[in-house]
Structure 1
Amino acid sequence: MKKLLVTGSSGLIGSEVVEYFCIEGWEIYGIDNNQRANFFGAAGDTRWNQQRLLEKYHNFHHIELDIRDRAGILACIEKIRPDLLVHTAAQPSHDLAASRPFDDFDVNAVGTLNLLEATRQYSPETVFVHMSTNKVYGDRPNTIPLKELETRWDYDEPGYQNGIPEDFSIDRSKHSLFGASKVAADVMVQEYGRYFGIKTCCLRGGCLTGPNHTGVELHGFLSYLIKCNLEGKLYRIFGYKGKQVRDNIHSFDVARFIHAFWENPRCAEVYNLGGGRQNSCSILEAFERIASLSGKKMQYEYLDKNREGDHICYISDLSKMQTHYPQWHLTKSLDDIFEEVFISWQQRSL
């Protein structure tokens, strides 16, 4: 039986990967210590998801471990020697990184190094998939000429109509400390592929979302927005007239791509993984979509100050992924995403 090790297994992408490969019949080991609750308080707690997975899947095994625990990570990988390692654990917030820079870098950069070195020492045949982020590009996407439309910003340069490609520069831009720590991890994952020959890839996620997302204000834009609408809670827009654009990809389609990569792994690859233009929307457009589902008007306030290093318009160019893995495609539309996340928050509030 194939063995999968997932870090951050109680989080959005981690739990989706656990479920996907459990159904495929793999033996799954999930590392998680509910650090999200430490970062974001009770609203970020993911123990509910951990318990759900344990109750639902007999082939899932939870490991209470912090990826900053170097000795623990070395021992874990030496014991399991997984066929596939999917690294989703992270400190994911721009704002929190600025107030807790040591925690941010130790989790995102050092934790990733611990996993890579443990893999090199004890399981070099493991396929290593790292969930990176589009924030490795810093705010350079904001230098692309834009046009202002009624409800969104959009690229005003033909070369970017399909979105941001993987060869877009990550240099000479403001990243936020979170973005910088993820750059360190991203480059290290590539280097363990190039230098040591490990099958690695970095998935530079756009707006990753889905029904198991425990969205909070500092992280999880779409999930948190839908939760605010459902609860009648005030949502704060940070700058850009509320017309900032994100491309949204369902966690199930992320898991499907990871499976495709596992079946035909490459060395030191990088992919921009998002919903592309077809699943893109602005905050204002998201307000309209959720209001049409819930029947509730969005309550919000506008702050004329954008978050540091935040993107005005970000759409992932999926061309490289679809060229390398033509069998992979998006199966969840923007309508599907909104409906599933909305229903999930309804069920959790009962």
Structure 2
Amino acid sequence: MAKIFITGGLGFIGSHVAELAVAEGHEVAVFDNLSTGHRSNVSAAVTVFEADLRDAGALDSAVGAFRPDLISHQAAQASVPKSFLNPEQDAEVNVLGTLNLLESARRHGVERIVMASTGGAIYGEVPEGTVGRVGGPERPSTPYAVSKLAAEQYLAVYAHHHGLQGTVLRYSNVYGERQNASGEAGVVAIFCQTLLRGAAIRVNGRLTSGDRGCVRDYVYVGDVARANLLALGGHLAPVFDVGTGTGTDARTLAETLMSGVGVTAPIVGAEPRKGDVQRSVLDGAPLLDALGEVTPLGRGLARTFGWYQQTQEAVLS
């Protein structure tokens, strides 16, 4: 079994990676600034270092103290709108923070880093009838996409010059339990919480207000965690697409959620959002081949809604 260090390990995806790693018998430590994460997201078996990725000294101290074999790098500034509002902070976290981690990994003899990246933002607008994939066109059009692509390339440099093994996971739109209901990436969380409030679901248009909304490739967080553990074991390609190959527009997403959980609400149209990619779908074959099966959207949405429902009931009780 290995010692695994997870940045952003108290957050949405990172905590699921930590949970699965512990279940598989690994020794796990997480590094998190608690900007969106919560200590309750991981068990007492997990060592917690509370600090910011941009604090090179604190990060190096944590890596040096834990002495990991493997690192799962999930911490990021992951909001496209925020990357436009504050591109400097986006680069500080995603580029300079990643460099801090790579330097610590080099100094302390880490074997492999698995880095969470973004297929949706890097591939940009994916034309109808096609999918974004490794080796295909890259159309980064946001500060967030540029910073994540730069981080990927820094990892490749460290692999080439310092022998640090690395795997990049290019995520599509990840959803599931513990997701923060903020920003477009949290649309499933937003819809779940909207239903629980008994309010109308708002769907931002793709081209005009009132249309069916932008198309996204929704992948369940449990499948993403499984892909991360395979990557940490060195079983995936150096750059790997984590998506399902199926596009779902926002209105269909809302309808599928309501149908699966037996709760209904009106759907109202809203204006398109600035900077939104209209269609983003990744190649689903790599993930399916690696996992054998992926979680169907309806099943994943039902699990996610059930978690938010239980969480709300716990708060109210």
Matched, 1:87 2:49: no
On the 8 A contact 1:250/1:337 being kept in 2, the answer is yes
Give the structure-1-normalised TM-score: 0.81
Whether the 8 Å contact between 2:8 and 2:76 is mirrored in structure 1 is: yes
Q: Which residue matches 1:39?
A: none
**How much identity, in percent, do the aligned residues show?**
25
Cα gap change, 1:247 to 1:135, in 2 (>3 Å): closer
Q: Whole-Å Cα distance in 2 between the matches of residues 243 and 136 of structure 1?
A: 17
Whether the aligned pair in 2 keeps the contact of 1:209 and 1:220 (CA below 8 Å) is: yes
State the Cα deviation string for residues 264-288 of structure 1 (Å, max 9, x = none): 3578x111101222xx421111121
Residues 1:138 and 1:306: Cα distance change in structure 2 (over 3 Å): farther
3-state SS of paired residue (1:35):
coil
Equivalent runs, 1:97-116 vs 2, <5 Å = 97-116=83-102
TM-score, length-scaled by structure 2? 0.89
> Does structure 1 residue 196 correspond to structure 2 residue 162?
yes
Segment of structure 1 superposing worse, 109-118 or 77-86: 77-86
User: Is the Cα–Cα contact under 8 Å of residues 229 and 290 in structure 1 kept in the other structure?
Assistant: no
Aligned residue pair count: 309
Q: How does 1:270-349 map to 2 (within 5 A)?
A: 270-277=239-246, 280-308=247-275, 310-320=276-286, 326-349=289-312
1:321 CA drift (Å): 5.0
Mapped partners of 2:302, 2:242: distance in 1: 21
Which of the residues 212, 221, 242 maps onto 1:242?
A: 212
Corresponding residue of 1:232:
198
Sort the Cα spacing of 1:10 and 1:223 in 2 relative to 1 into closer, same or farther, 3 A: same
Residue aligning to 1:128: 113
Q: Specify the alignment match of 2:136 in structure 1.
A: 168
Contact 2:217-2:282 at 8 Å conserved across structures? yes
CA–CA separation in structure 2 for the residues paired with 1:26 and 1:111: 25
**Structure 1 letter corresponding to 2:252:** E
Q: Distance in 2 between matches of 1:67 and 1:208?
A: 22
Partner residue in 2 for 1:215:
181
2:47 matched to which residue of 1? Answer: 61
Closer/same/farther in 2, CA of residues 288 and 327 from structure 1, 3 Å limit: closer
> CA separation of 1:264/1:96 partners in 2, compared to 1, >3 Å: closer, same or farther?
closer
Deviations 1:148-189 (A, max 9, x none): xxxxxxx2xxxx2xx22111222xx45222222112112212
> Which residue among 124, 136, 156 is the counterpart of 1:139?
124
Instruction: Provide closer, same or farther for how the CA distance between residues 330 and 189 of structure 1 changes in structure 2, counting only shifts above 3 A.
Output: farther
Matched residue of 1:203: which SS? strand
Q: Which runs of 5+ in 1 are unaligned?
A: 37-45, 147-154
CA distance 1:166–1:185, change in 2 (3 Å)? same
Gaps of 5+ in 2: none
Pairwise CA RMSD of aligned residues? 2.1
Question: Cα distance, 1:327 vs. partner?
Answer: 4.8
